[in-house]
């Protein structure tokens, strides 16, 4: 996995605005449990990309794993809004159900 992370880092160094590489690197961090790095990269991705909702679920899960429940809840709420705006009601409902069962939403 570390080789893939290094590959994505190199690709990102060569093209720092490539949102596909940012997302790919965030996924690699997710696979290896590097939650702080995941949060940093997915936040950077969200700052420059019009995500359709999935990245907010990744972000919320990383915050949950770090025990940062308020930030996780906020990420799920943003994910609901974004998923609805992009026509992904199933994703929005999944995030609502998570909030309802884990956050007394």
pLDDT tens digits, one per residue of 53-91 = 999 999 999 999 999 999 999 999 999 999 999 999 999
Angle of helix 54-65 relative to helix 69-85, nearest 10 degrees?
170
Q: What percent of the chain has pLDDT over 90?
A: 93
What integer best gives the mean pLDDT of the chain? 95
Residue 103 — pLDDT band, cuts 50, 70, 90?
confident
Name the CATH superfamily, with its identifier, for domain 2-102: Tetratricopeptide repeat domain (1.25.40.10)
Are the C-beta atoms of residues 47 and 77 closer than 8 Å to each other?
no
What is the distance, to the nearest Å, from the Cα of residue 105 to the centroid of all Cα atoms in its chain? 20
């Amino acid at each position: 996995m570390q080789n893939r992370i290094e590959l994505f880092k190199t690709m990102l160094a060569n093209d720092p605005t490539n949102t596909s590489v940012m997302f790919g690197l965030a996924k690699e961090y997710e696979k290896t449990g590097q939650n702080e790095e995941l949060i940093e990269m997915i936040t950077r991705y969200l700052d420059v990309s019009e995500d359709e909702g999935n990245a907010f679920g990744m972000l919320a899960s990383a915050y949950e794993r770090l025990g940062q429940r308020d930030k996780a809840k906020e990420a799920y709420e943003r994910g609901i809004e974004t998923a609805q705006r992009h026509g992904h009601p199933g994703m929005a409902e999944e995030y609502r159900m998570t909030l309802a069962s884990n956050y007394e939403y």
